[in-house]
Amino acid sequence: MTKTLGVGIIGCGNISTAYLDLASMFKGYEIVAVADINMDNANAQATKFDVRAETVEGLLAARDVDLIINLTIPAAHVEVSSAILKAGKHVYSEKPFVLSLAEAQELGELAKAKGVRIGSAPDTFMGGSHQLARNLIDAGTIGNVASGAAVVMSSGMEDWHPNPDFFFQKGGGPILDLGPYYICNLVQLLGPVKQVTSFTGMASDTRTIGNGPRNGETVPVETPTTIHSVLSFENGAIITLLASWDVVASNHPIMELYGTEGTMNLPDPNFFGGELTITERGADPVEKSWDHPFNVPNFEETKANYRGAGLADMALAIGEGRPHRCNDDFATHVVEVMTAILEAGETGTVMTMTTTCERPDVLGPDAARALLA
């Protein structure tokens, strides 16, 4: 029997509740303690979820903690993940893994030297609908995928997040914040990216917070909020990715892939489930489904949220001595793609990737059930 990993969290803000809430659903790990630079945040989550509150230093030294989840803001990811690895513990980071390829490679080297593993969200690509899409593409259902389009558009994050500053600072913006969901899913479906280019802009240089204690306060915008990019994949597919927080309303399909034998319409990769349709040559659109545990709606009536699946897969993979799906090479390649999209926009050039990765293993229904407690 594989060991249950003792897990700690650094960063007790907005998203920590989802991890603490959903942890009991999964095998392989148990959250035992939480920490934050702000002890009030750590104490509040510790009390609410009946775990131990620690200082960051205390958690890094804790003997019952094998792996730490990094839920700090993106600008702190590299520093906090580095401290976790230096403490000899595995790290699982929220997205974006880090903010540059150099940071990703530095952490990769450190993990190797310490003999520990790196994992990174998002794990939504392990959702039932996205895994069904992978299964159908691999089976040749829509033929050879030559092109596609993906859009992630909204009016911004300042309407719902009480402290939206980081979304508009360097390291934020829709490509680094939401791009991980889209790019991870495209890479798991199509394989690694070869080249990217883009144009970038912003509709406004300040944003006004629309909720919480800071309602009405303005925050500066220091990163592009509209990015039109093109990704050329090693397998020959060319995908347009449009990411913007300057859009009031849109009817664009979220993601479509165009194959020689048909078109696949995919659900939002920010979630685990959702509707998947295929239109084969000369036929009407057909909705596809399968019996996959990470498709079952479990919040807001229609949405599937299995955040923690990637962490469970990592925890079990450590015990079983196999690669985990949300792994270092995959996360590093996605960081290079995202940062190259932004650099291409700044410099008006085409960027060629220096990294590549294997597609993470398929997570079929039985493999997904094996992650559940």
Question: Residues touching ligand NAD: how many (CB under 6 A)?
Answer: 21
Q: Using the minimum distance from each CB to ligand NAD, give the nearer residue, 43 or 163.
A: 163
How many Cα neighbours within 13 Å face the side chain of 55? 3
Q: Using the minimum distance from each CB to ligand NAD, give the nearer residue, 37 or 367.
A: 37
The pattern of x and - marking residues 331 through 370 that bind ligand NAD according to CB under 6 A reads ----------------------------------------
How many other C-beta atoms lie within 10 A of the C-beta of residue 347? 10
Of the listed pieces 69-77, 202-210, 244-252, 346-354, which binds ligand NAD according to CB under 6 A?
A: 69-77
Q: Using the minimum distance from each CB to ligand NAD, give the nearer residue, 121 or 241.
A: 121
Among the listed residues 10, 312, 331, 371, the single contact to ligand NAD using CB under 6 A: 10
Between the CA of residue 250 and those of 242, 244, 245, 257, 258, what are the distances in Å?
12, 11, 12, 19, 21
Shortest CA distance to 67 belongs to which of 316, 367, 305, 363?
316
Q: Using the minimum distance from each CB to ligand NAD, give the nearer residue, 94 or 158.
A: 94
C-alpha torsion sign, points 7, 13, 19, 24: positive
Between the CA of residue 357 and those of 24, 325, 372, what are the distances in Å?
31, 11, 27
Q: How far is the CB of 279 from ligand NAD (least distance, A)?
A: 32
Q: Using the minimum distance from each CB to ligand NAD, give the nearer residue, 94 or 268.
A: 94
Q: How far is the CB of 41 from ligand NAD (least distance, A)?
A: 4
Among the listed residues 2, 38, 204, 354, the single contact to ligand NAD using CB under 6 A: 38
Does residue 47 touch ligand NAD according to CB under 6 A?
no
Phi, then psi, of 220 in degrees rounded to 5 = -75, 150
Q: Using the minimum distance from each CB to ligand NAD, give the nearer residue, 172 or 262.
A: 172
Does residue 9 touch ligand NAD according to CB under 6 A?
no
Among the listed residues 7, 32, 46, 80, the single contact to ligand NAD using CB under 6 A: 80
Between the CA of residue 182 and those of 92, 121, 135, 255, what are the distances in Å?
19, 12, 18, 9
Shortest CA distance to 269 belongs to which of 258, 291, 286, 254?
254
Among the listed residues 43, 163, 298, 355, the single contact to ligand NAD using CB under 6 A: 163
What is the residue-wise DSSP string for 221-277?
--S-SEEEEEEEETTS-EEEEEEES--S-----SEEEEESSEEEEE--TTSS---EE
Of the listed pieces 5-13, 228-236, 241-249, 316-324, which binds ligand NAD according to CB under 6 A?
A: 5-13
Does residue 158 touch ligand NAD according to CB under 6 A?
no
* Token pair of 266 as six digits: 């995919």
Does residue 132 touch ligand NAD according to CB under 6 A?
no
CA distance 335 to 330: 9
Peptide bond connecting 96 to the previous residue in cis, omega within 30 degrees of 0: yes
Closest-by-Cβ residue to ligand NAD is: 13
What is the residue-wise DSSP string for 199-213?
EEE-S-SEEE--SST
Does residue 44 touch ligand NAD according to CB under 6 A?
no
* Token pair of 114 as six digits: 């310490």
Among the listed residues 6, 20, 31, 36, the single contact to ligand NAD using CB under 6 A: 36
Does residue 94 touch ligand NAD according to CB under 6 A?
yes
Of the listed pieces 24-32, 35-43, 129-137, 196-204, which binds ligand NAD according to CB under 6 A?
A: 35-43
Phi, then psi, of 119 in degrees rounded to 5 = -130, 155
Residue in the structure block whose two tokens are 């899409």 = 133
Residues that bind ligand NAD (CB under 6 A): 10-15, 36-38, 41, 56, 71-74, 76, 80, 94-95, 163, 177
